[in-house]
C-alpha cells in the first residue's frame, strides 16, 4: 500500500477557510499530515477542519489574523501543543484588491503589506523555533507572478509579493544549516472565492470569467488542486534538497505573453 507522503508531519496553513488554502489543507490532510487550519473566518474555518476530520484526516481550526503578532505566535504554539511538534507552514493568507500607484492611499498600502508580507514574517518568526526543535521544517510562501513582474493595477500587492520572494531567499540562506527550508510557490489564475468576489465587484460575472479560461496558455483556469500538488511536494521529504527556490505553477504565464492582463489579478 502507498505510504501517505506527509505522514507524521504537523502543518499550519493560513487563510485555509476557502480557496487555494482550503485545497492545500484538504490534500495535505489526505496525505497524512495533522493540519492546523487557520483563518479569520471562524465559521468557514471550523467547517473546513470538520470536513477534513470526517474524511478521516487529523485537523483542527485555530482563528488567527496574520496581521497580529500575538495571533501568529499563539497559532504556532497551539499547533505544537496540540500535535506535539511543527514541521510545515504554508503562508497562504492573502488579499489582492487592485490599485494603481496614484490611487493607492497609505492605509491601503499598509493593509496590503500587513496581510501579504508582515503576516508571513510573523508566522515564520514563531514557526522557526518550533521547527528547529523538530530537527527541521519546510515553509511554503504563496507567491504570485506579480512578485516578479507586477501588473500596473497591483502596485502594493506586487510590492508585498516581491518582498515575500526576497524574504523566502533570505530565510532559506539563514536557516539552511538548521534544515529549515523556505520556498516560493507561484499559482496561476485560480478562480477562488476571493477572486470571484473581486471580479463580481468590478462587474465581471462568473460566466464571463470562465470564458477567459480557454484563452489562457494551457487552456483553462487553475483550481486549488494545481497548487496543492506543488505544496505537498515542498512540504514532503521528497524536496529535502530544495530550498530558496521558486516553484512556478503559473501555466507559463511568466514565460509566455501575458493574456487577459486586464482581468488577471494574481
Ligand atoms: N487566486 C489566484 O489566482 C491567485 C494567484 C496567485 C497567487 N494567489 C495567492 O494565493 C493565496 C490564496 O489566494 P485565494 O485566491 O485562495 O484567496 P481567497 O480570498 O479565496 O482566500 C483567502 C483566505 O485568506 C483569509 N484571510 C484574509 N485575510 C486574512 C488575515 N489577515 N489573516 C488570516 N486569514 C486571512 C480569508 O478569510 C480567506 O479565507 C494568496 O496569498 C494569493 O495572493 C492567488
Residue 261 has a pLDDT of: 45
The ligand 1 atom nearest the CA atom of 146: 6
Mean pLDDT score, 33-58: 98
State if pTM tops 0.75.
yes
Cα 203 to ligand 1 centre (Å) = 20
Report yes or no on 258 lying in a domain. Answer: no
Residue 260 belongs to a domain: no
- CA–CA separation, 213 and 78 (whole Å): 40
**CATH number of the domain that residue 192 is part of:** 3.40.50.720
Q: How far apart are the first and last CA of the chain?
A: 38
For residue 184 and ligand 1, the question of a CB distance below 6 A is answered with no
pLDDT band at 243 (very low <50, low <70, confident <90, very high): very high
Return the residue whose CA atom lies nearest to atom 32 of ligand 1. Answer: 65
Is 266 inside any structural domain? no
Looking at the domain assignment, is residue 230 inside a domain? yes
Pocket of ligand 1 contains residue 96 by CB under 6 Å: yes
Residue 77 CA to ligand 1 center (angstroms) comes to 23
Which range of residues forms the domain containing residue 145? 10-249
Please compute the mean of the pLDDT values over residues 134-145 and round it to a whole number: 98
- How far is it, in rounded angstroms, from Cα 257 to Cα 87? 38
Looking at the structure of the chain, the number of domains it has is 1
State in Å: Cα 192 to ligand 1 middle: 8
How far is Cα 263 from Cα 266, in angstroms, rounded to an integer?
9
- Of 134-138, 186-190, 260-264, least confident by mean pLDDT is 260-264
Average pLDDT, rounded, for the chain: 95
CA Rg, the chain, in Å? 17
pLDDT band with cut points at 50, 70 and 90 for residue 214: confident
Q: Are strands 137-142 and 180-187 parallel, antiparallel or unpaired?
A: parallel
Amino acid at each position: 500500500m502507498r505510504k501517505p507522503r506527509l505522514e507524521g508531519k504537523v502543518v499550519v496553513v493560513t487563510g485555509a477557510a476557502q480557496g487555494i488554502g482550503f485545497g492545500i489543507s484538504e490534500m495535505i490532510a489526505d496525505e497524512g499530515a495533522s493540519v492546523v487550519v487557520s483563518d479569520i473566518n471562524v465559521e468557514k474555518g471550523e467547517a473546513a477542519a470538520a470536513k477534513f476530520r470526517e474524511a478521516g484526516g487529523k485537523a483542527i481550526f485555530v482563528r488567527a489574523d496574520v496581521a497580529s503578532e500575538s495571533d501568529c505566535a499563539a497559532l504556532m504554539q497551539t499547533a505544537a501543543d496540540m500535535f506535539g511538534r511543527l514541521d510545515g507552514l504554508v503562508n497562504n493568507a492573502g488579499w489582492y484588491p487592485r490599485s494603481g500607484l496614484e490611487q493607492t492611499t497609505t492605509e491601503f498600502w499598509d493593509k496590503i503589506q500587513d496581510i501579504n508580507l508582515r503576516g508571513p514574517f510573523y508566522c515564520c518568526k514563531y514557526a522557526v523555533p518550533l521547527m528547529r526543535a523538530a530537527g527541521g521544517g519546510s515553509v511554503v510562501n504563496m507567491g504570485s507572478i506579480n512578485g516578479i513582474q507586477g501588473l500596473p493595477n497591483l502596485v502594493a500587492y506586487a510590492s508585498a509579493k516581491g518582498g515575500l520572494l526576497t524574504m523566502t531567499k533570505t530565510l532559506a540562506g539563514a536557516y539552511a544549516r538548521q534544515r529549515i527550508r523556505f520556498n516560493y510557490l507561484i499559482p496561476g489564475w485560480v478562480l477562488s472565492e476571493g477572486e470571484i468576489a473581486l471580479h463580481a465587484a468590478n462587474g465581471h460575472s462568473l460566466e464571463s470569467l470562465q470564458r477567459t479560461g480557454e484563452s489562457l496558455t494551457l487552456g483553462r483556469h487553475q483550481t486549488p488542486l494545481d497548487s496543492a500538488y506543488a505544496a505537498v511536494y515542498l512540504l514532503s521529504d521528497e524536496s529535502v534538497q530544495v530550498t530558496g527556490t521558486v516553484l512556478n505553477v503559473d501555466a507559463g504565464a511568466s514565460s509566455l505573453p501575458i493574456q487577459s492582463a486586464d482581468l488577471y489579478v494574481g
